[in-house]
Amino acid sequence: MIKVAIAEGQRLIRESLATLVNGLKGCEVVGVSATGESAIKLVKEHQPHVLLMDMLLPGFGGLEVLQRIAAADLRTETIVLGSVTKAVMPTQMLQAGAKSFLTKGVSSEELGHAIRKVFAGQRYVSEFIAQRILNASLGYSESNLIAKLTRREFQVLLMLLDCQKVNEIARSLHLSPKTVNSYRYRLFEKLDVKSNVELVLFAVKNGIPTPGFDTEEVSRRRRPLKNTPTMAVAEEDKVFLVSDSE
């Protein structure tokens, strides 16, 4: 029997996945969780063979879950589920240790096939994802700026795009707020953006999820004019770059 744990932030989807997986031949759900933090506790306590995890798991997120599983040398393999249009998120997740990445449009049959493949120690990605990763590896339609980011910088980027405050990110990742702000400044420099609006627009353009932002509203906002002076403004525990034209 393949023991499966589920980590998904939305209750309806979490319960639906549990029902679906329990209905698969040879599979048994041993526990469910709603956040990254609780997912780690679940894996340590129940030691499932497979963790079925949402790409945008609340809390410190899926990337951190993968890194902590690897650091603790846990024998749980992870399948990540997500809705994506480009290779950047699947690539980051697979490089961090996921054995499989599936789109949320897969059938129950393909999900069962992926679980069995991963349980056997093999990798499995949806055909759509495989095509995107192949295109990216050949240099088609993907930003090479993202490749400059370290895994920790990318994790901080995802948490910022989820509208998490600097202090929240610091607590989740066991870092100081000063260190998180340093990561944020490096993100701005490496991605060549000068404001939160430009950061969100960059994310949207490159297929990086922005659950904490209304992307249509962001897209309507004017970008700062070229050579417009900018200054750092502190507001509570967040730091923004604003221009004189705003």
Please indicate, yes or no, whether residues 153 and 57 belong to a single structural domain of this protein.
no
Please indicate, yes or no, whether residues 133 and 150 belong to a single structural domain of this protein.
no
Task: Name the residue among 217, 215, 210 with its Cα closest to residue 84.
Answer: 210
How many structural domains comprise the chain?
2
User: Which of the four pLDDT bands, split at 50, 70 and 90, describes residue 84?
Assistant: confident
- Under DSSP, is residue 75 helix (H, G, I), strand (E, B) or coil? coil
Please indicate, yes or no, whether residues 168 and 132 belong to a single structural domain of this protein.
no
Q: CA distances (Å), 52 to each of 34, 71, 124, 163, in order?
A: 12, 19, 13, 25
State which residues form the domain around 38. 2-137
pLDDT at residue 191 greater than cutoff 50: yes
pLDDT at site 221: 53
Query: Which residue, of 68, 102, 137, is where some domain finishes?
Result: 137
pLDDT at residue 3 greater than cutoff 80: yes
Residue 138 near residue 117, CB atoms below 8 Å:
no
Query: Which residue, of 110, 137, 164, is where some domain finishes?
Result: 137
Which neighbouring-strand residues pair with 194? none
Please indicate, yes or no, whether residues 92 and 57 belong to a single structural domain of this protein.
yes
pLDDT at site 16: 95
Q: Say which residues have a Cβ less than 8 Å from residue 46's Cβ, sequence separation at least 6.
A: 3, 5, 30, 31
Cα-based angle 43, 98, 119 (whole degrees, multiple of 5): 70
| pLDDT one-digit tens code per residue, 22-40 | 999 999 999 999 999 999 9
- Under DSSP, is residue 212 helix (H, G, I), strand (E, B) or coil? coil
Please indicate, yes or no, whether residues 61 and 101 belong to a single structural domain of this protein.
yes
Look up the CATH number of the domain holding residue 198.
1.10.10.10
Please indicate, yes or no, whether residues 170 and 233 belong to a single structural domain of this protein.
yes
Please indicate, yes or no, whether residues 115 and 211 belong to a single structural domain of this protein.
no
197 or 119, which is more confident?
119
